[in-house]
Amino acid sequence: MGRVEQRLQELGLQLPGEAMLPPGVTTPFKWVRVRGNRAYVSGHGALAADGTPLGPFGKVPSQVSLEEAQASSRSALLAMLASLKRAVGALDNIAAWLMVYGNINADPGYPQTTLVVNPASELLVDLYGPEAGAHARTAIGMAALPLDLPVILAAEVELAA
């Protein structure tokens, strides 16, 4: 078991199964696009263990509390890690995180989008350490997100040679 997966186990965290979306929602794109030493990660939301979208759903904070959105943000990171593992074989094959795009299904003018994404950033640095896990980031509020999920994360990472 690799270092990152060991740390996930220590934290009692499990990666979800591949996304199982509602009937009629097709995905004519790659969850992870690998090319050379780069992987581009599509927008991921929280998934339950069986890969079904994980609620609560709706706007932050009127329908989904800050605390719930923070948990959703961590779950979205785990969903990205699950897709990356399927795409590149082992989570330790990620040499460096580069950019994380944090998208929050926010009420107009909600000023706390930074706080929503912080638990995902903190978990990322915990898992990969301060060198490989360092990343630039956005954390911005959207009018709408797929399936009305409260948080969608996307990313770009560098792969080991």
Which residues lie near a second copy (CB under 8 A)?
Answer: 21, 24-33, 35-36, 38, 40-43, 58-59, 96-101, 103-115, 118, 121-122, 125, 134-148, 152, 154, 156, 158
- Closer by beta carbon to a second copy, 1 or else 113: 113
- Closer by beta carbon to a second copy, 1 or else 44: 44
Structure tokens at 128: 């990969």
CB of 68 to a second copy, least distance (A): 16
CB of 85 to a second copy, least distance (A): 16
- Closer by beta carbon to a second copy, 1 or else 20: 20
CB of 119 to a second copy, least distance (A): 9
CB of 1 to a second copy, least distance (A): 26
What are the CB-based long-range contacts (under 8 Å, 24+) for 29-35? 30/87, 31/83, 31/86, 31/87, 32/83, 32/84, 32/86, 32/87, 32/88, 34/87, 34/88, 34/159
| 3-class secondary structure, 68 | helix
- Closer by beta carbon to a second copy, 12 or else 36: 36
Q: Which of 149, 157, 32 has its CA nearest to residue 93?
A: 157
